[in-house]
Chains A and B, each alone.
Chain A
Amino acid sequence: MSHAFYLWMSYGATAIVLVAEIVLLRMRRAHAMKLVEEEKDLEAQD
């Protein structure tokens, strides 16, 4: 196996996990906002 394979596997995997974490963070933020909205709606119904 050439050295390029080991370098690409290292740098590529790192880039993937960094981007995945950012995407998951955005999803979590959106979920948190949704929870707050739901809480507000529940209170409005009461």
Chain B
Amino acid sequence: MNINWYYFASPTTFYRLAGRIAPWAFVLAVITGAAGLYLGLVVAPTDAQQGEVYRVIFIHVPAAWMSMFLYFVMACYGALSLTFNTRLGAMMARSLAPTGAMFTFVSLWTGSFWGRPTWGTYWVWDARLTSELVLLFLYFGFIALANAFEDPRRGDRASALLALIGLVNLPIIYFSVLWWNTLHQGSSVSLRGTSMHVTMLWGMLAMAFSFWMYSVGTAFTRVRAIILERERRTRWVRGLVAGAHS
């Protein structure tokens, strides 16, 4: 199958495509989210050591995965915009940042509410927690830098560069539990298998898929607003708004 990527790189085309995909992404997010919550809160057995509080992992782990995955995708879009000077690449990077920051916050917040009853503290300056906090600051830095210039194209370039530099933090987060002696435990799920009960695993995977679809929905909805803001002087956007009111 031959896909014309340049066709989809046009804001005009992508605006319509994102408008079609976003509602379905939200619907999938709600369905899989409900399934994940049911599996995680009702079906999954109580943990023998941690009791009921382990159920925080059904949002903590998927949120942590999404925080890193969205940063990676955001940096890829940043690289695309820097290399090929694509407008849409920069717009997509901007649209992913707030959702990525939100999931990083959720990961840190839920982690601390799991840590208190399990470790006896809300926070510890452990390598995994600290590098995840650095990720949150990278997202904040990206958003601040992108909006710091009057000319949005300059903001796009500066923030894309920051996103690329910040990529170095992702392997640090992932391997921190192996490289350093940390309080945070190692991965329970990997490509080689899992040490979890199968219901727990499916609950977590359903929640991860739900968060992924939510991210697609929010990123596509946000990029449509960004396209409208930036292309508001073009004829096609005016026609669009006139059509929406007629």
B-binding residues in A (CB < 8 A): 1, 3-4, 6-7, 9-11, 13-14, 17-18, 21-22, 24-25, 28-29, 31-33, 35-37, 39-40
Contact = CB atoms under 8 A, between A and B. Distances in A.
B222 interface: yes
Q: Which 3 A-B pairs have the closest CB atoms?
A: A32-B228, A10-B110, A3-B53
A7 B55 contact: yes
Contact of B241 (A14, A21, A28, A33): A33
Given A17-B102, A35-B228, A35-B229, A7 B52 contact: yes
A3 B117 contact: yes
Given A21-B102, A40-B241, A10 B218 contact: no
Contacts of A29: 221, 224-225, 228
A28 B222 CA distance: 8
Interface in B109-140: 109-110, 113-114, 116-117
Secondary structure at chain A's binding surface: helix, strand, loop or mixed?
helix
Contacts of A36: 228, 232, 237-238, 240-241
B106 interface: yes
Interface of B: 51-53, 55-56, 59-60, 63, 98-99, 102, 105-106, 109-110, 113-114, 116-117, 214, 218, 221-222, 224-226, 228-229, 232-233, 237-238, 240-242, 244
24 contacts: A3-B52, A3-B117, A6-B53, A6-B114, A6-B117, A7-B52, A7-B53, A7-B56, A7-B113, A10-B109, A13-B106, A13-B110, A14-B59, A14-B63, A17-B106, A18-B214, A21-B99, A25-B218, A32-B229, A32-B232, A36-B232, A36-B237, A36-B241, A39-B232
Given A18-B214, A25-B225, A13 B52 contact: no
A40 B238 CA distance: 7
Secondary structure at chain B's binding surface: helix, strand, loop or mixed?
helix
Nearest to B117: A6
A18 B51 CA distance: 27
Contacts of A37: 241
A5 B243 CA distance: 50
Contacts of B109: 10, 13-14
A33 B244 contact: yes
